Structure 1
Amino acid sequence: MTADEFYKSVKGKTVAFCGLGGSNLPLVRLFAKHGAIVTGRDRRTEEQLGDIAKELKALGVRLVTGEGYLDGLCEEIIFRTPGMKYHLPQLEEARARGAAVTSEMEVFFDLCPCRIIAVTGSDGKTTTTTIISKMLEAAGRKVHVGGNIGTPLLPRIDEIKPEDVVVAELSSFQLISMRKSPDIAVVTNVSPNHLDVHKDMEEYIGAKKNIILHQNAFGRAVLNADNEITASFAEDVRGQCLMFSRRHPVKYGAWMDESGEIFLSLPEGTTRIMNKADIRIPGLHNIENYLAAACAVWGLAGPEEIAEVARSFPGVAHRNEFVRELDGVSYYNDSIGTTPSRTINGALSLFDQKILLIAGGYDKNIPFDPLGPAIVNKVKTLVLIGATAPKIEAAVKAAPGYREGNPKIFHASSLEEAVKICRAEAVKGDIVMLSPACASFDMFPNFETRGERFREIVNGLE
């Protein structure tokens, strides 16, 4: 079915959009324009929605808002927002009565006319997605980036031509209901995450695995050989399977030797791509991101384009982003550090010296046990904020090697206070890093807002 045929098929049908956030809002406008009878459902009240509510009402959209926004879910087609639990009773009842419960990304995969490369993982999704898109652009290809990064793809489908390439970042929330996989699927790694939404780790892993389960023999899966869970996906790959490792050679895929030389091995032979020193953005995890990207783009971009991007790409905002130096102290924004593993493999792996770390935030029920030893080894001053502060402190104090004052531990009631404490504690040559190891939702709407606020505070220091 083409996009035109799909939009003709929804004319006159009742369509509900559950959650009027970034991925659904453009679709509400689009479906209303194509003659669907649209209902917008959101936990926020009309007053909280503000101008959004006024705009949608002007388009003829019926609004159901507040705590009971899913009551009377009677529409023929129901779009859930990605963060909504897939097995909510109201959605299960809708499926049982024959409603089509779907999502923006599911429909996009059905209608997309071109090759899709998709990236998932607990950490590194956005950077790897961005690197892949840069490499393809360097090779002269028209690229459309979306999914869990940037803007939704379905409203842009009319712009996409068969010869283009889509690069999509996919979260577990998007993947849990997918029954179609991309042409090229990348899994950066899998570690505990989002256990406040998924019923257990098994469901979370199953959602991630959906990115490869529906590929055919012509598909390509790119998997992290250094991550036990990700590597286990290989047995379910139906097409080409390329592994990547920064620790050892792989038979087919990308790997790094002891001297930092990076190679790609395929049945036709092994090609040197670059050295790790060519990668501009710091951190061992970014080497893995480049290894994954090289596997994904091979055949669409060559070693020259891969190395060119490595040398020139400065990184994505809020990911180990240098903010400023003041009085000899360097400040870095790693607000994307929303899990313990991301902070351990990212911020805490970048520098030889011990750093001043601001951590803590919303509690996603992820264990902090692995974070404790990493902080003891790599942090000299720890400033804790948010709901998880007591759990992180307990993990640090329970870690082998911890002793009073190693690290020094402070608690702050706000990000402003945390930066103020770091300013007072830091001396010339020190590094201050915001890498919370937690989501932001207890204090900020998202990690971007948290990172932008950190930037503002640091840039306001005198």
Structure 2
Amino acid sequence: MRKDFREFKRFILGKKVAVVGIGVSNIPLINFLLDLGATVTAFDKKTKEELKDVATDFNNKGVKLELGAGYLDNLNGFDVVFKTPSMRIDCESLVKVKKEGAYITSEMEEFVRYTKGKVYAITGSDGKTTTTTIISKLLEEQGYKTWVGGNIGTPLFSQIEKINENDRVVLELSSFQLMTMKEEVDIAICTNLAPNHLDMHKDMEEYIEAKKNIFLYQDSKGLLIVNRENEITHDFKKEAKGIVKEFSSNREILDGSYYKEGVLYVEGKEVCKKDDIVIKGMHNVENYLAAFIATKDDVSVETMKKVAETFTGVEHRCELVREMDGVKYYNDSIASSPTRTLAGLKAFDEKVIVIAGGYDKKIPFEPLAYEGYPYIKELILMGATKDKIKTVFDKLEEEKGIKTNIKMAKSLEDAVNIAKESAEAGDIITLSPACASFDMYPNFMVRGNKFKDIVNAL
């Protein structure tokens, strides 16, 4: 049972509140807390010069700023602390302020606790943004006022009083957001799980435990949707307190959703043909199956079919950038793990020229080599992980005699130029890095946009 937001308004009035991180979701949060009568101090490792107008605006509104190196040194004496999602709860500064008696929370936890709308929450290692977007499109097409937030969309907590009981809320939630989540969602969807973010999590077990929080606090009426073909998510059934429905790309599940002989079904009813879906690849078939079974009580089969046959996909996900001299260039910058890159490669009907490499999330690259080689015509490596990835492909050649053509690049621009020189008419070049972007770019969107700029300038 969700709480009445008036409780929060009474609670926060006059409180000394710390907000850690002055980013996209926390800027509206800070303004909202000020409107609710809190005294706010904002913390960020960025300097006043880097924050520019944001810092000036907050200064003018009476927000105290703790910035730059050692920005957390004065995180003490607060009643409430809103942490940024990527901040671990066991970080020294948070542990210290919690011992003092501070209430530690986050924008997303408070939103889920108080929102009146029916909540669909989506997590997984791969496919969560596309599945989140498909679900929101299905609900909108069916006529619901739909709010999209979490990792994508807009920060929702500051808009909470505009959301009513008949609205639908669709949230993409990362393992970082879920680590401290103890709130109930109506419908929880886990697309799949594979090693990811092991630079942030202590180990794979902690990563999986974080993901479980999406369903562990549901009651008997809650609905959990899991991938039958993913061993880890299939295992979640044992701990679920509510109803569990499965989707599968490999077997018939008559009370779930499934793919069989070119057709997608939900609870035994045909929805659409695979070849009529605009966004290609079996990974997108699975994303649709998850979305269909999750929304079956809110959305008609006719609406499902219409969306599948018209939705053109999300930017930076196997996005066609241009065709030049008979060569197609695709931007799959979202692919920040080997499994996500594999899914993208399998979407094409032929071997492709792949640009990969980037920031090291401490994920093993063996799947990229040992499962990916049949789909790769040439591999162009860049970034901090280029030697690490090459080592795995060299190992594959030593062990099995399977050689992959590999070239090394100094930058993304260099990689595109190498790919262009290698390509012949009819080839496909895809940026599908299998790594995060942080060694070269602030996020995958900036990396994808840079790739598009380079390709469009060829």
TM-score (norm 1): 0.96
Distance 2:310 2:82 in 1: 39
1:183 touches 1:220 (CA, 8 Å); kept in 2? yes
Distance 2:172 2:112 in 1: 13
Secondary structure at the aligned position of 1:186 is classed as strand
**Equivalent residue for 1:457?**
454
The letter for the 2-side match of 1:153 is L
1:380 touches 1:406 (CA, 8 Å); kept in 2? no
Deviation at 1:2, TM superposition (A): 3.2
**Equivalent residue for 1:163?**
166
Secondary structure at the aligned position of 1:422 is classed as helix
Equivalent of 2:196, from 189, 193, 200?
193
The letter for the 2-side match of 1:329 is V
1:372 touches 1:398 (CA, 8 Å); kept in 2? no
1:385 touches 1:411 (CA, 8 Å); kept in 2? yes
2:113 touches 2:184 (CA, 8 Å); kept in 1? no
Distance 1:105 1:60 in 2: 24
The letter for the 2-side match of 1:45 is T
Unaligned runs of 5+ in 2: none
Q: Write the deviation string for residues 31-70 of structure 1: whole angstroms up to 9, x where unpaired.
A: 1222211001011122222222111111111011122111
Instruction: Pick closer, same or farther for the CA change 1:281–1:423 going to 2, 3 Å.
Output: same
Secondary structure at the aligned position of 2:215 is classed as helix
1:136 has 2:134 as partner: no
Deviation at 1:261, TM superposition (A): 1.8
1:387 has 2:384 as partner: yes
Cα root mean square deviation, aligned: 1.5
**Equivalent residue for 2:411?**
414
**Equivalent residue for 2:63?**
61
Equivalent of 1:277, from 271, 275, 279?
275
**Equivalent residue for 1:376?**
373
Distance 1:50 1:271 in 2: 55
The letter for the 2-side match of 1:83 is S
1:56-455 equivalent positions in 2, closer than 5 A: 56-74=58-76, 75-257=78-260, 259-265=261-267, 270-346=268-344, 348-399=345-396, 406-455=403-452
Deviation at 1:430, TM superposition (A): 0.5
Instruction: Pick closer, same or farther for the CA change 1:402–1:379 going to 2, 3 Å.
Output: farther
Distance 1:213 1:2 in 2: 22
Percent of matched pairs sharing the same residue: 48
Distance 1:339 1:217 in 2: 34
1:376 touches 1:399 (CA, 8 Å); kept in 2? no
Aligned residues: 455
Deviation at 1:111, TM superposition (A): 0.9
Deviation at 1:373, TM superposition (A): 2.1
1:358 touches 1:382 (CA, 8 Å); kept in 2? yes
**Equivalent residue for 2:9?**
7
Secondary structure at the aligned position of 2:170 is classed as strand
Deviation at 1:333, TM superposition (A): 0.3
2:397 touches 2:403 (CA, 8 Å); kept in 1? no
Q: Write the deviation string for residues 137-190 of structure 1: whole angstroms up to 9, x where unpaired.
A: 111111001111121110111221111010010000001101113100000001
Deviation at 1:22, TM superposition (A): 1.3
**Equivalent residue for 1:21?**
23
TM-score (norm 2): 0.97
Equivalent of 2:32, from 5, 30, 33?
30
1:376 touches 1:402 (CA, 8 Å); kept in 2? no
Secondary structure at the aligned position of 1:312 is classed as coil
Secondary structure at the aligned position of 2:371 is classed as helix
Secondary structure at the aligned position of 1:370 is classed as helix
Secondary structure at the aligned position of 1:436 is classed as coil
Distance 1:278 1:87 in 2: 48
Deviation at 1:4, TM superposition (A): 4.1
Distance 1:341 1:335 in 2: 13
The letter for the 1-side match of 2:361 is K
Distance 2:184 2:262 in 1: 33
Q: Write the deviation string for residues 196-233 of structure 1: whole angstroms up to 9, x where unpaired.
A: 11111111000101001000011100000000001000
2:396 touches 2:403 (CA, 8 Å); kept in 1? no
Higher mean Cα deviation, 388-397 or 87-96? 87-96
Q: Write the deviation string for residues 336-393 of structure 1: whole angstroms up to 9, x where unpaired.
A: 00100000112x1022321111000000101111111234211121111110111111
Instruction: Pick closer, same or farther for the CA change 1:405–1:341 going to 2, 3 Å.
Output: closer
The letter for the 2-side match of 1:301 is V
1:50 has 2:52 as partner: yes
Secondary structure at the aligned position of 1:296 is classed as helix
The letter for the 1-side match of 2:73 is D
2:396 touches 2:402 (CA, 8 Å); kept in 1? no
Deviation at 1:5, TM superposition (A): 4.0
Secondary structure at the aligned position of 2:176 is classed as helix
Distance 1:232 1:403 in 2: 33
Deviation at 1:19, TM superposition (A): 1.0
